[in-house]
């Protein structure tokens, strides 16, 4: 059986969407996405440092020593150091 291929030119054009046209790049959408990512990271760092500070304080009180003398985990020190409010 022999197959034949037609040599027709097919013109591909985008559909007409009745006034819907994007005239500029989606900068605002990417800006909002990045601001939500940074905001989420800031909230996570803040609450993580709050919990770490509370754990350090409770551990020092239980041992009867100052907070500076308590042995801290690396992640507790990192979160407290990363948060400018703690």
Question: The whole model's pTM is what?
Answer: 0.64
pLDDT digits (tens, 9 = 90+) for 26-83: 788 899 999 999 999 999 999 999 999 999 999 999 888 988 888 888 999 999 999 9
Nearest to 80 by CA among 48, 55, 58, 57: 48
pLDDT value for 3: 66
What's the token pair of residue 66?
A: 């100052």
* 3-state DSSP assignment of residue 8: coil
- Cα-based distances in Å from 22 to 8, 15, 18, 53: 32, 14, 12, 49
pLDDT value for 25: 78
d(CA 7, CA 84): 69
What's the token pair of residue 30?
A: 């990417």
Judged against a pLDDT cut of 80, whether residue 20 lies above it is answered with no
User: Higher confidence at residue 73 or residue 2?
Assistant: 73
């Amino acid at each position: 059986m022999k197959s034949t291929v037609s040599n027709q030119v097919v013109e591909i054009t985008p559909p007409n969407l009745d006034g819907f046209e994007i005239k500029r790049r989606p900068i605002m959408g990417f800006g909002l996405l990045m601001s939500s990512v940074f905001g989420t990271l800031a909230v996570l760092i803040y609450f993580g440092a709050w919990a770490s500070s509370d754990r350090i304080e409770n551990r020092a009180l239980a041992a009867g020593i100052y907070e500076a003398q308590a042995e801290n985990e690396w992640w507790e020190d990192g979160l407290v150091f990363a948060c400018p409010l703690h």
